[in-house]
Structure 1
């Protein structure tokens, strides 16, 4: 139990479910309750699947393909940046991503389980073992899911105007997060 708790904390910081919540609200504000639940389920499934595969074969697969964590950070950052730019520069029009895609990219990965989580997993596997790492990922992803499911309560509190303002601020924040991911990825690549 202690190993799971020790592994939980760094993954909690890396997942940053509370930080991802406004982005989830922004991306799903035009979807109904059932669509949002499907998106949450798909993002949980995607995040856990990506994390499990990476935990089990990440080092070997990346090595085989010649991919570094830096490469992964740059790619994830570029995907997020494209989404943010569309949200910022298309006034009055809402980019509507199909629910099949939204739960996978960008929510499942790279937002819930992205380079930060995957890198953290590699580090804590060596410290605490595979099972505590897997349990910590599952618990953190489920925490994110609970936050996402109750996101409508946040909308009720802040109202429609507040949601619109939050949407634009979050699109800008998403762009900044994307640039940060690209920057860290490039720094990682330079230091190879």
Structure 2
């Protein structure tokens, strides 16, 4: 276990971009309006547990079905690429089912700890120390909790245009991350 502040910051920024909790404020506000109170503590805790468990058993699960981490990371880079395009262009490639309640589903999973996050965690696991990733997950979950608790205030403060700018900015960051993940792992496919 090697704690590295630079790794923690890098992984935290990657997860922040992928989780895109600020960009999902319009969705969170809509869920709150349709279903009432959002349990911020419960949603944050469940999302954190899902991410940490997947971080440690995800690779073993892949081995069980015969997929190596490099293949998963390259596939994940495509998922991140399309998520980034959605954020930048304002289009929806992935269509989600409508929620019947705003409890754990869809808030904790798949909104916070979704497919993009899971893919990113395994990709990060191939490049960074697990302890640093866990710390980054915890930092992001704290931020998720704060955003969930104050989503109405953030919405009023940023306004519709401000939220759009934040979403597009993190879309570009996520696109760069997708390219980096692809480049770092595609070599491993042919080794």
| TM-score, shorter chain, exceeding 0.5 | yes
Partners of 1:70 and 1:184 within 8 A in 2: no
Q: Work out the CA distance in 2 between the residues paired with 1:97 and 1:178.
A: 25
**Is 1:124–2:129 an aligned residue pair?**
yes
Partners of 1:48 and 1:141 within 8 A in 2: no
| Higher helix content, 1 or 2 | 1
Unmatched segments (≥5 aa) in structure 2: none
State TM-score, norm by structure 2: 0.62
Partners of 2:77 and 2:181 within 8 A in 1: yes
**Is 1:108–2:113 an aligned residue pair?**
yes
Deviation at 1:82, TM superposition (A): 5.5
Q: Kindly tell me: are residues 53 and 70 of structure 1, through their superposed partners in 2, closer, same or farther at Cα, counting changes over 3 Å?
A: same
Pairwise CA RMSD: 4.1
Partners of 1:80 and 1:175 within 8 A in 2: yes
Q: Work out the CA distance in 2 between the residues paired with 1:183 and 1:133.
A: 20
Q: Work out the CA distance in 2 between the residues paired with 1:146 and 1:101.
A: 18
Unmatched segments (≥5 aa) in structure 1: 88-94
Deviation at 1:25, TM superposition (A): 1.2
Number of residue-to-residue matches in the alignment: 173
Deviation at 1:156, TM superposition (A): 2.6
State TM-score, norm by structure 1: 0.61
Q: Work out the CA distance in 2 between the residues paired with 1:17 and 1:182.
A: 11
Partners of 1:77 and 1:178 within 8 A in 2: yes
DSSP 3-state at the match of 1:52: helix
Q: Work out the CA distance in 1 between the residues paired with 2:13 and 2:123.
A: 12
